[in-house]
Structure 1
Amino acid sequence: MMRVASCRCGSLRANCSGEPIRLSVCHCRACQQRTGSAFSAQVRFPVDAVTVEGNWLEFVRIADSGREVTYRFCPSCGSTVSYMIDEWPDLIAVPVGLFDEADFPEPAYSIFEKNRQSWVSITGAETQHHP
């Protein structure tokens, strides 16, 4: 199966083959700032299952966890199309909202819930919740 994620202007795409390793949501402040929403939702694929096409810029930051995160984003519209965390170099994350398909499973993890907005409830039967 091939899934395609694209930025808002369509000039940067992530072609993802196969099934994702996991879907997770994150409530950390950095994800809230990146998405402009109360949390982020992303799927992770093996890095060799994703081909990013188009021109991108990279932004690298140190997360609250101390890990280095490298974001690839569209220089035209600013959408983050993928990111990698140095601790997991074999995985690449792609924001769920960039895919046309809406057929992903419920999230496996909900992390940084200490920053979760009080009105947000992640209710997957199998979802693991982490402060």
Structure 2
Amino acid sequence: MSSRTASCACGQLKIVVQGEPLGTGLCHCLACQRRTGSVFAALAAFREPYEVIGVANEFVRTGDQGARFRFRFCPACGSNLFHTEEGVEGTVGVAVGGFGDPDFPAPQDSVYTCRMHRWVELPEGITRHDRDPV
């Protein structure tokens, strides 16, 4: 099985995941915009096992549906690299930009399009959700 490594900007924090992503998506919610400093978050989900290398700080945020997400970021450079959902075992969400791979699989889903910046154009065929479909 192939592995992929995502890294923070300074290289202190890394996550190594196995295989192909379960899925990739975009989130346009205001919390993700503020968390990333961008107009959306691009995330990929992977199954365990995964390996974390380096030290991470954590920030826990409660989503609109009550789910609690534990975001991990580098204490040196501040890059937000990956997250898990409390109570959901076996998967991890990784920031697509951390892989530094322009050939990374395109997103299939886009959530919180109600908050999407009007000038953002989504890829053809992507499934759009006005809010979180859960």
Please report the TM-score for the alignment, with normalisation by the length of structure 2. Answer: 0.90
- Structure 1 vs Structure 2: percent identity of aligned residues? 39
Contact conserved, 2:18 with 2:47, CA < 8 A, in 1?
no
Find the counterpart in structure 2 of residue 34 from structure 1. Answer: 35
2:122 aligns to what SS in structure 1? coil
Structure 2 counterpart of 1:10: 11
The aligned runs of 1:73-88 (5 Å cut-off) are 73-86=73-86, 88=88
Q: Distance in 2 between matches of 1:128 and 1:87?
A: 26
Once the two structures are superposed, what CA deviation does each residue of 1:2-23 show, in whole Å capped at 9, x if it has no partner? Answer: 2111001100001111111000
8 Å contact kept, 1:106–1:124:
no
Secondary structure, aligned partner of 1:98: helix
Displacement after TM superposition at 1:87 (Å): 5.4
Q: State the TM-score, normalized to the length of structure 1.
A: 0.92
Would you say the 8 A contact 1:31–1:40 is kept in 2?
yes
- Taking the aligned partners of 1:90 and 1:81, their CA distance within structure 2 comes to 17
Q: Which residue of 2 aligns with 1:128?
A: 127
Counterpart residue identity of residue 63, structure 2: A
Specify the code of the residue in structure 2 equivalent to 1:110: S
Tell me, which stretches of 5 or more residues in structure 1 are unaligned? Answer: none
Q: CA RMSD in A?
A: 1.2
Map of 1:1-131 to 2, 5 A cutoff?
A: 1-48=2-49, 50-86=50-86, 88-125=88-125, 127-131=126-130
The runs of 4+ residues in structure 1 deviating greater than 4 Å are: none
Paired letter, 2:25? S
Indicate if the aligned counterparts of 2:5 and 2:99 stay in contact, CA closer than 8 A.
yes
Amino acid at match of 2:53: E
Contact 1:3/1:101, CA 8 A, preserved across alignment: no
Letter of the 2:45 counterpart:
R
SS of 1:114's partner is helix
C-alpha separation in 2, matches of 1:57 and 1:19 = 26
More deviation, 59-68/36-45: 59-68
Letter in 2 for 1:97: G
Counterpart CA distance in 2 for 1:17 and 1:28 is 28
Stretches of structure 2 that go unaligned for 5 or more consecutive residues are none
